[in-house]
């Protein structure tokens, strides 16, 4: 058994040269909102869900991005409502949010 049932990583990478990056698309606020929602729903803690920061995950063209493990499901999102949907459907209910999936060919 895994230490956590699910792990969500948010890319928070900031590029100093003005190149597109997740930090430039509200990733920090999305991370904080997700962490707050997971805690409010009682989903946090050992055996449950962990919300983590990540550096560049090399999927910058789809920014901002997050990935949920162990499923390896990559998401892109626009606002807090998208994060709420990921929390409610995937992290809480185990169902992939199809409309927010990052296309597999999207890279840097």
Which pLDDT score, from 0 to 100, does residue 20 have? 80
Q: What is the pLDDT of residues 22-40, one digit of tens each?
A: 999 999 999 999 999 999 9
Q: What are the residue boundaries of the structural domains of the chain, listed by start?
A: 6-97
DSSP the chain: --SSSEEEEEE----TTS---GGGGTHHHHHHHHHHHHHHTT-BSTTSEEEEEES--S-GGG-SEEEEETTTEEEE--SHHHHHHIIIIIIIT----GGGBPPTT---
Pick 6-97's CATH classification: 2.40.50.110, 3.40.30.10, 3.90.1150.10, 3.20.20.70.
3.40.30.10
pTM, to two decimals: 0.94
Give me the mean pLDDT over the 12-21 stretch: 85
Which pLDDT score, from 0 to 100, does residue 1 have? 67
Q: What is the pLDDT of residues 84-93, one digit of tens each?
A: 999 999 999 9
Give me the mean pLDDT over the 59-79 stretch: 96
């Amino acid at each position: 058994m895994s230490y956590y049932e699910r792990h969500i990583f948010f890319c928070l990478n900031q590029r100093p040269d003005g190149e597109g990056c997740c930090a430039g698309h509200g990733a920090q606020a999305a991370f904080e909102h997700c962490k707050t929602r997971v805690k409010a729903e009682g989903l946090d803690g050992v055996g449950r869900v962990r919300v983590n920061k990540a550096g560049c995950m090399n999927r910058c063209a789809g920014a901002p991005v997050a990935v949920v493990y162990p499923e390896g499901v990559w998401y892109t999102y626009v606002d807090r409502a998208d994060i709420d949907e990921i929390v409610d459907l995937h992290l809480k209910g185990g169902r992939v949010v199809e409309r927010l999936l990052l296309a597999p060919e999207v890279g840097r």
